[in-house]
Structure 1
């Protein structure tokens, strides 16, 4: 792709993805992977989202006051995410780009379906010692295979009876660890070229501008209405990506 169309694509995708995150508190890597995946292999899209995803998620992580308490509770899940991502990153970085595209489409569609159905899950504290690492490992495998951090981490964290601020910070922790682990996994497989790192750095500004706009918009629209449209869009986008990969 020529430099100007590529730059316009990058800015447009991360402006929109940042706006989604500013409005809903999540969705930047998911939206970026889905839209970039229409124009390039998933491994290239994953490399481009690393820096803006890390910057915006660290921002979200540090926005709350209970980082230490959440880390003490969730560290087994975080270790599972790291182990799973490093294990699965060979899929997205390998030669089977078609399989990675199908997996990305399925992950997006599944996340869209879960978001629309909003299952009322409740995880008792007694099962967290084994459920957390298991969910983390599965999330890591999905992250390594697709570049998408949300399944099943987001539904699991939503089932822990955290208050809203703690949940937002816990999501920031999970996404930050996933981003760092994915960067290491891609680097270990030689799939993190310097050019992609530079382009990823350039995507930070439109992502932050999008987040600011999404925060401004959140005060003026009903987020729940947008949320439904967001998940319907993910379901359709995921189905289209899976179809393209199988065609």
Structure 2
């Protein structure tokens, strides 16, 4: 698929859509990008192409707002756990042709979608944060290392902290940035980040930034709740499809 002349256009289209979702609801770029790209390439290759767009768009999100230093002081145990978990799981993201990583990705997408659709809400008392934050970080890191998706359980946990809307968006940016950089270390060790995909990553970055800008511009005209609902429905359908499709390869 990488050799197809249509693949760069396909890649750019996926990242345009993923960036748009991020612009509207503040998340969704890695989930959409990894999920859709995995229909055509391995999750490992999809994650390699994702690194640059994810880092840049998340840094932009992370630095928007005045709570960066305060959030970093509060969340650093979780960020440390993210790194530990991701690096401990190095090698879990299988290479080309192995359906296990795609099945794991499908399970992660289904779990993420169900949590969102069921509107499951949690509350994490402040006194529990010193224990919960590193544990959530390690768990998210292990899932990141195995699937390339870094939303479970990090996103529900950050939502459970009772942050204000703008603080939550900024906290998600911090978490996603750290997760992406930690995953990049794993991919570098596996020699998956190389000049051969650099031009694809740059095209994906341009498309993601364009989508993010468009999503931010249209955020006020769209109903975020409705958009989020269809986003989760799409991720649920995609996750089920990946599980069924890749499971057939094991039979």
TM-score using structure 2 length = 0.95
- 1:180 is the counterpart of 2:170: no
RMSD: 1.2
- Structure 1 contact 24–227 (Cα < 8 Å) conserved: yes
Distance 1:233 1:179, change over 3 A: same
- Structure 2 contact 42–96 (Cα < 8 Å) conserved: no
Question: 2-side partners of 1:216 and 1:190: how far apart?
Answer: 38
Q: Which runs of 4+ in 1 moved over 3 A?
A: 93-96
> Any unmatched runs of 5+ in structure 1?
none
Tell me by how many angstroms 1:49 deviates.
Answer: 0.5
Tell me by how many angstroms 1:4 deviates.
Answer: 2.4
- Structure 2 contact 48–193 (Cα < 8 Å) conserved: yes
Question: 2-side partners of 1:28 and 1:197: how far apart?
Answer: 19
Alignment correspondent of 2:233? 232
Tell me by how many angstroms 1:172 deviates.
Answer: 0.3
- 1:103 is the counterpart of 2:104: yes
> Any unmatched runs of 5+ in structure 2?
none
Tell me by how many angstroms 1:215 deviates.
Answer: 1.4
- Structure 1 contact 47–197 (Cα < 8 Å) conserved: no
Q: Deviations over 1:115-134 (max 9, x none)?
A: 10111210001111110000
Question: 2-side partners of 1:35 and 1:95: how far apart?
Answer: 16
Tell me by how many angstroms 1:66 deviates.
Answer: 1.2
Question: 1-side partners of 2:202 and 2:96: how far apart?
Answer: 26
Question: 2-side partners of 1:81 and 1:12: how far apart?
Answer: 30
Tell me by how many angstroms 1:231 deviates.
Answer: 0.3
Question: 1-side partners of 2:106 and 2:231: how far apart?
Answer: 15
Question: 2-side partners of 1:244 and 1:36: how far apart?
Answer: 14
Question: 2-side partners of 1:225 and 1:95: how far apart?
Answer: 36
Alignment correspondent of 2:145? 144
Alignment correspondent of 1:56? 57
- 1:46 is the counterpart of 2:66: no
Question: 1-side partners of 2:90 and 2:193: how far apart?
Answer: 12
Tell me by how many angstroms 1:218 deviates.
Answer: 1.4
Tell me by how many angstroms 1:93 deviates.
Answer: 4.2
Matches of residues 57-206 of structure 1 in structure 2 within 5 Å?
57-94=58-95, 97-206=98-207
Deviates more, 1:6-15 or 1:187-196: 187-196
Deviates more, 1:115-124 or 1:213-222: 213-222
Question: 2-side partners of 1:37 and 1:96: how far apart?
Answer: 11
The count of residues paired between Structure 1 and Structure 2 equals: 247
Question: 1-side partners of 2:32 and 2:144: how far apart?
Answer: 14
Question: 2-side partners of 1:160 and 1:18: how far apart?
Answer: 26
